[in-house]
Amino acid sequence: MLYSTESYIESYSGLWDIKFNPAKSQVVRFGSGNNQFCDIYLNGSAVPMVDKVKYLGVYFERKSGQCDISQPFIRFYSQFNNIMAVMGKNSNEITTLHLVKTYCLLTLLFGCEIWNLSDRSMHKLNVMWNNCFRYIFRGFWRESVKSLQFFVDLCQCRT
């Protein structure tokens, strides 16, 4: 027996005592194959078809399935700039780094388990983290911070 999408959703929501809100619902179909979609209705209202869907603060692109992590980047830089403004230029670097790791990095990496990053996004993530180290430790933009990152992590493991 075939159900229309609306009757199937209504029977499912009734069975599991779930109330779907059509104003807060979206439909997305990942992949670039057949672009024909059937209309989906909830409580008599059409659910909009979208090109991006937000999950755990990350937007997923319909065609590629890749993540758009620009919003977590913006939040990270906002928190980083707030910490740097409060700490000042002559602050203790280890204390500043601890604050950045504790607050900014956790905000940036929220939901990272579901990320499907392109090589370009991964490169941007590495550049951002390296630039934060350069700024905190007053390094030059062409200077490598790999050894600094290694020794800072090594020293923090011993304490």
- Hey, what's the torsion of the CAs at 72, 76, 77, 80, to 10 degrees? 180
Q: What is the pLDDT of residue 159?
A: 46
| Residues with pLDDT less than 70, the chain | 1-6, 32-37, 146-148, 150-159
- Residue 99 · residue 83 · CB < 8 Å: yes
DSSP string, 65-91: --EE-HHHHHHHHHHHHHHHHHH-TTS
Written as six digits, the tokens of 99 are 């604050």
Q: What is the pLDDT of residue 148?
A: 66
| Angle at which helices 70-87 and 119-136 cross, to 10° | 0
Q: What is the pLDDT of residue 52?
A: 85
DSSP string, 86-137: HH-TTS-HHHHHHHIIIIIIHHHTTTGGG----HHHHHHHHHHHHHHHHHHT
25-59: per-residue pLDDT in tens?
A: 888 887 766 566 677 777 778 888 888 888 877 78
Q: What is the pLDDT of residue 1?
A: 41
Q: What is the pLDDT of residue 131?
A: 86
Indicate the pairing of strand 52-55 with strand 41-42: unpaired
